[in-house]
Chain A
Amino acid sequence: MDAAATLAAGARAFTAYVQGVLGEDAYRKYLQHREATHCDEPLLTEREFWRDRMDRQDHNPQGRCC
């Protein structure tokens, strides 16, 4: 692998990490989960999924540390 490819791979890994920590991959993981389980509930679209995710936090608050 030449330097440019290594750098690009590093940048990709870094982006993926930041996205993971911020939780951007949540919908992708939801799809993966649904694919693996084949349950009958209707599949949420991306927009519905994020709405649902935020709204569930309204009813299940988590503390932030001091």
Chain B
Amino acid sequence: MNQKRRNNTTGTDVLVQDPQLPPVAVEPAAVERAGRWTPAKIALWVAIALLGGVAWVVLAVVRGETVNAVWFVFAAVCTYLIGYRFYSKVIEKFLLKPNDVRATPAEYKADGKDYVATDRNVLFGHHFAAIAGAGPLVGPVLAAQMGYLPGTIWIIVGVVLAGAVQDYLVLFFSMRRGGRSLGQMAREELGVIGGTAALVATLLIMIIIVAILALVVVNALGESAWGVFSVSMTIPIALFMGCYLRFWRPGKVTEVSIIGFVLLIAAIIGGGMVAGTDWGSAFFHLDRTTIAWGIIIYGFIAAVLPVWLLLAPRDYLSTFMKIGTIVMLAVAIIVVRPEITVPAFSEFAGKENGPVFAGALFPFLFVTIACGALSGFHALISSGTTPKLIEKERQTRFIGYGGMLMESFVAIMALVAAVSIDRGIYFAMNASAASTGGTIEGAAAFVNSLGLTGVHLDPSTLAQTASDVGETTVVSRTGGAPTLAVGLSHIMHQLIGGTAMMSFWYHFAIMFEALFILTAVDAGTRVARFMLQDSIGNFVPRFKDTSWRVGSWLCTAVMVAGWGAILIMGVTDPLGGINTLFPLFGIANQLLASIALAVCLAIVAKRGSFKYLWMVALPLAFVAVVTITASFQKIFSPVPAVGYWAQHNAFQGALDAGKTEFGTAKTTAAMEAVVRNTTVQGTLSIIFVVLSIVVIIAALLVTWRAFRNGGGTSNEDPAVPSRIFAPAGFLATAEEKAIRAQWAGRPAGRTPARSGH
């Protein structure tokens, strides 16, 4: 027996590796030594800190006419580097204490299929592709209403202290539990009530998130023949790729992704030609309600089709597009260096009646930007596939914390793209059709009436922008995606192709956002269906059988009906849709974050690390205050634009008084629609806030009990000594290289500690 194990109350184990093997971990003393400061290192970090400091001063303090976009990049990257080098290391050293002598699930549960030790840099790309979607591209665009600075600060500071911490913690704790999901961990750590609340919240959040993402796509494709054509072409392209992989060349993933990418570009170019013809513009020019129904029907069919046919090929395409486009945008911003004319704080930073989204900076900025700063949804990914693929425990910092920093950088780039376009155009695109009337004259009159300094919008500017990007109109294209697409085409055409290419870049951006969102719609519906089947299965056991057609179709229909109803509600909402619904999306996402952090708080307390509990308590307290305040304002605010029930009562009162038009609702039917929609939105707000309070109280009780007992029982899998070695970070250190050299002579096949079979 070459293994000694001693369990103590904190659940950490003292392991000894097989002496026959070269080291499986770098000695803690050597880690310390490698981290020792040398004059060169000090100089480097001083330089990074100075550059970051200067960038922040330029963004926040210097009040020029314009600010160059490159300062956003410097401020972000330097802050990320400092957060990663210092804060994440503090979390690693004092809170999580990963132990590379301990085998990860990818090693002790290795099965060659689900549990596979994966190279850290490959897994980083994999994890990043799984967490980054349309969210970080949309939220920052809407938040630009308040000027560039509030959003920038929240994205950068929020990720370092909250978002990346959440991702890192959830990934680590799930890894220590054999890759268990957030729902399972909530049940284990918080008990039945907390666990059930977490489950219900996750299910509702899935519905809300899918509905609002779909609404973003509908708004981007409405009345756009080009967009409808090219996005619908992704379906036959994906089907072709699916068959190619299934029947002709199994496993040739890169090959088929390249073919798919070429077809996708052809679909974008073809879309321009089709939209230019009479029949094309007549056939593909669809109103938003029709497109919404199209997505609902698509969502149902996609979620019941086998994965190989539609979802898997779409996944390959979107991974390919995601990484390619993000790299391209980063290069473009650094090369083009656009000048930003948007003020640091806009006129709406101190008001609560902004046309893009309603509500004051606190708390609504912090729910509008969820993904990119702190995204609860990531907790589902970090407790899904990634923990089953991690090779060594210490790699969780690079993958969990580092991966989230990358996503935050995407959000910063989206913000830069949004603030690089003219403010007049920005507000004309993002104000609801109820305000602009949907015409260029109406939009110009509305924007000019806002009293923004330095903004005078001429209707011809809007017509010119629309024709540049190959659309019939850009007025009231709410949802963030079209604004980002205009911003991206504004930046990219300066790099490649000139004005003639603007319409291509616009539709390229629309296409890749639609691609992410449709994948998320499909996958979200599937996950929600399985959760529903599992829950119903507790009462009607047959539902647990996921290969039972009737059950799975029924549950899919229920889920699609859930998000479909909210989608139709958003599309037909007389008040504008996005500006009333988007806060719900953010609140839902932040609520999930507070559940994830609450679970982490309970786990940390049970580990007995009370001295460092604040690292979890700080982001949890912040996100709890934000979501609860935002929900309370949505429920209790007397301002109709902010409070759902205030709006509800105002319209109900008008109906009772026999009025036939009220505010932006011009008919009795529209007024009744507002009454109905606000009931749904208000009820959801109440449910969200109640669930969130229940989960947080459950976590606080568990934490308090653990504090009184000096710790608690650990639900970690038993520790097994590792028999493999791999470096922890992006680059191998000198010690790691030396150890790798000792392993180099050995046969490639490794002997796992315990077979997975």
- Verify B253–A23 contact, CB threshold 8 A: yes
Chain A residues, Cβ within 8 Å of B135? 65-66
- Verify A51–B250 contact, CB threshold 8 A: yes
Tell me if A57 counts as interface (CB < 8 A to partner B): yes
- Verify B111–A33 contact, CB threshold 8 A: yes
- Verify A18–B384 contact, CB threshold 8 A: no
- Verify A36–B306 contact, CB threshold 8 A: no
Chain B residues, Cβ within 8 Å of A29? 112, 116
Closest A residue by C-beta to B305:
A58
Tell me the chain B residues, 117-146 only, with Cβ under 8 Å from chain A: 118-119, 121-122, 125-126, 129-135
Tell me if B547 counts as interface (CB < 8 A to partner A): yes
A35 to B749, CA, bound (A): 7
- Verify A50–B530 contact, CB threshold 8 A: no
- Verify B134–A66 contact, CB threshold 8 A: yes
The answer to whether A21 and B113 touch (CB under 8 A), given A57-B312, A61-B527, A63-B384, is: no
- Verify B384–A37 contact, CB threshold 8 A: no
- Verify A63–B380 contact, CB threshold 8 A: yes
- Verify B547–A59 contact, CB threshold 8 A: yes
| A21: contacting residue among B206, B312, B323, B755, CB under 8 A | B323
- Verify A17–B519 contact, CB threshold 8 A: no
A66 to B377, CA, bound (A): 7
Tell me if A32 counts as interface (CB < 8 A to partner B): yes
Chain A residues, Cβ within 8 Å of B315? 64
A21, A34, A65, A66, most chain B CB atoms within 10 A: A66
| B530: contacting residue among A27, A51, A61, CB under 8 A | A61
Tell me if A12 counts as interface (CB < 8 A to partner B): no
- Give B302 Cβ to nearest chain A Cβ, in Å: 12
Tell me if B708 counts as interface (CB < 8 A to partner A): no
Closest A residue by C-beta to B119:
A20
- Verify A33–B112 contact, CB threshold 8 A: yes
Chain A residues, Cβ within 8 Å of B213? 66
- Verify B116–A51 contact, CB threshold 8 A: no
Chain B residues, Cβ within 8 Å of A66? 133-135, 209, 213, 371, 375, 377, 520, 589
Tell me if A8 counts as interface (CB < 8 A to partner B): no
Tell me if B257 counts as interface (CB < 8 A to partner A): yes
- Verify A21–B319 contact, CB threshold 8 A: yes
Tell me if B345 counts as interface (CB < 8 A to partner A): no
- Give A3 Cβ to nearest chain B Cβ, in Å: 23
Tell me if B251 counts as interface (CB < 8 A to partner A): yes
- Verify A36–B546 contact, CB threshold 8 A: no
- Give A22 Cβ to nearest chain B Cβ, in Å: 5
Tell me if B103 counts as interface (CB < 8 A to partner A): no
Chain B residues, Cβ within 8 Å of A58? 306-307, 546
A30 to B250, CA, bound (A): 15
- Verify A30–B112 contact, CB threshold 8 A: yes
- Verify A65–B381 contact, CB threshold 8 A: yes
Chain B residues, Cβ within 8 Å of A39? 755, 757
Closest B residue by C-beta to A52:
B113
Chain A residues, Cβ within 8 Å of B752? 36-37
| B251: contacting residue among A17, A26, A57, CB under 8 A | A26
- Give B310 Cβ to nearest chain A Cβ, in Å: 11
The answer to whether A63 and B112 touch (CB under 8 A), given A51-B246, A54-B308, is: no
- Give B202 Cβ to nearest chain A Cβ, in Å: 10
- Give B43 Cβ to nearest chain A Cβ, in Å: 30
A23 to B756, CA, bound (A): 21
| A63: contacting residue among B126, B381, B749, CB under 8 A | B381
- Give A39 Cβ to nearest chain B Cβ, in Å: 4
A33 to B748, CA, bound (A): 10
Chain A residues, Cβ within 8 Å of B112? 29-34, 37
- Give B524 Cβ to nearest chain A Cβ, in Å: 6
A8 to B370, CA, bound (A): 42
A61 to B307, CA, bound (A): 9
The answer to whether A54 and B749 touch (CB under 8 A), given A63-B523, A63-B524, is: no
- Verify B250–A46 contact, CB threshold 8 A: yes
Tell me if B316 counts as interface (CB < 8 A to partner A): yes
Closest A residue by C-beta to B116:
A29
Chain A residues, Cβ within 8 Å of B126? 20-21, 23
- Give A54 Cβ to nearest chain B Cβ, in Å: 4
Apart from A30-B116, A66-B371, what are 6 other A-B pairs with CB-CB below 8 Å?
A: A21-B129, A29-B116, A30-B113, A50-B251, A51-B308, A65-B381
What residues of chain A have their CB less than 8 Å away from a CB belonging to chain B?
Answer: 15, 17-24, 26-27, 29-37, 39-41, 46-47, 49-59, 61-66
Sort A-B residue pairs by CB-CB distance and give the 5 closest, nearest first: A33-B112, A20-B122, A36-B749, A54-B308, A21-B125
- Enumerate 19 A-B pairs (CB-CB under 8 Å) in ascending A order: A22-B320, A30-B112, A37-B752, A37-B755, A39-B757, A50-B250, A52-B113, A57-B308, A57-B311, A62-B130, A63-B377, A64-B133, A64-B315, A64-B516, A64-B523, A65-B378, A66-B213, A66-B377, A66-B589
